[in-house]
Chain A
Amino acid sequence: MDKFDVASSQKYDVYASRLLPKEEYFVGGHRSCQGCGEALAVRWVCKAIGKDAVIAHATGCMEIVSSGFPQTAWVQPWIHVAFENTAAVASGLEAGYKILARKGKLSGNPPKVVAMGGDGGTTDIGLQALSGAMERGHNFTYICWDNEAYMNTGIQRSSSTPYGAMTTTSPPGKRSIGQPTWKKNMMAIAVAHGIPYVATACPSYLFDLYFKVKRAVETPGPAYIHILSVCPTGWRSATDLTVRLGRLAVETGVFPLYEVVNGRYHLTIDIPELRPVKDYLKLQGRFRHLREPEIEFIQRQVLAHYDLLLKKCEAPYPEFPPLSQTEEGE
């Protein structure tokens, strides 16, 4: 998918969206909340993956709402696995198809193997299985739906919850400002494994998301995509603001959209002027208790993180030496 490099994907505007595929792989009738950003992301990720795929999905919001027995919203073959072993199941699937192909029992291309999980199933519980699978170099794609807390069990904090956010296990009060730690940088962890493709995406930038998933699935070897999915229930925001909140997260620099191809950082949505973080925070009830000093602290931190990212994008050499000898020099 070189198309992605030719034009920054948000700029296809209104007309190209009518040319995207119409087949649905994540069908309606599931029980996600009103305004769920995750369901929107799942729908478009499944469209980008296409029909020849097997999905291993961790326990989490999307599993709860879409696969209550005896119904399912998934059209592709879909395996529900526990929190901790999503990536392990995906690597088993990939190895299985490899063996079948070697024995001559599989005609044509093997199906794409995709693992999916929420932020809890990725950054907390499933991290060691994911780390192992990425390190072993299985040809699979891991997609993380990041709604920044354990939403389906009742908004408990995870390591992906941003600084200052109110959750039921990090309540703000006299001696607490909510989540006391900064959000875990899962992207850097994935990049540190030396895998060929890592990216962040957000369903508010549809073409960006679509091309990134397509590219991740086509990449031989492990690929990791971190998708910010707005959760009106847990973020205490209005349900009609889902798409806008996703865009504001990008425009304020809280969640920059970039990709790391063979260790090279590349900003895919380049915002000419960052908005103040306040625009993003004030729409969410989970940040309602924050006062000026805390907001200023968040603003400083966000800008520092963004600057660091820009520096990484300008770095003349990749983050890690490329594994393959055939990588084209730039």
Chain B
Amino acid sequence: MEIYLPIAEQSMNVFVLLGLGAAAGLLAGMFGVGGGFLATPLLIFVGIPPTVAVASQANQVIANSISSLQVQWRRGNVDLRMGLILLLGGMLGSTAGVSLFTYLKRIGQIDFVIAVLYVLMLSTIGLLMLFESLRTYLRRRRNPEGPRGKLHTHYLVHRLPLKLRFYKSKLYISALLPLGIGFGIGVLSAILGVGGGFVLVPAMIYILGMPTSVVIGTSNFQILFVAANVTFLQAATNGTVDVVLALLLILGGVVGAPVGSRLAARLSGVVLRGLMALLILAVATELLTDLLRTPGSLYSLAPRDMAP
């Protein structure tokens, strides 16, 4: 069954879009990521113009986040204070990011920036997570009763001023840290059209040292607002949000998200992190191959609205 997407200006199979949405929703529920980092490249692959894919995906992330957040909130897995500070940084970051996106689009280098940023971020994060989870997993198998070590290690970043207590996360750290992380993720989120969860989740685990149980809910809380901000700014400045496309992705995601939450509850933290690492690496490899392989066609057209 085909449906015409009014902003993407082409017709597309409804079930392909529902399936894509379901996959993104599953990831949102399972790992606390928006799922955009997987769905955006896939949307581009099936022929949606990259600018529309990025903006409409941000719209879907809103729905995925609120859907997962319903569950997480009830379980008390949201650190509101941490979430609000991350959010403040995220708002500033995504506003800066949309201006950057508009600028890059004008000079025609948006494809390059998107591709290179994706590959760099995904491969770095994927590798780090994979090694960490493998090491933890092996250590636990060898020595299941052994010392767990400190709850989290102390780095230079912990000497920053403006220290605050985060009770749910059991942390006493500088507010500047989550603020900065939030800002970086906001910029990414605007340019890549992803909620930024795949960077935020590892950052919360490894940099902030938050307990894994609180991470998914808090990440979803922050992503919800950042994605809403990106959707608004993309619609207002670039006019690239396709609500028909977004609605189909959302309907798929609504089915996927709770399934993911349930799966996540059954798996241990370390297995969950390992799986996420593998997934991130697979996407990075695919994107890198794309950049390295001799393209079928050397030519492409810039989006029409770029031309004055």
A binds B: no
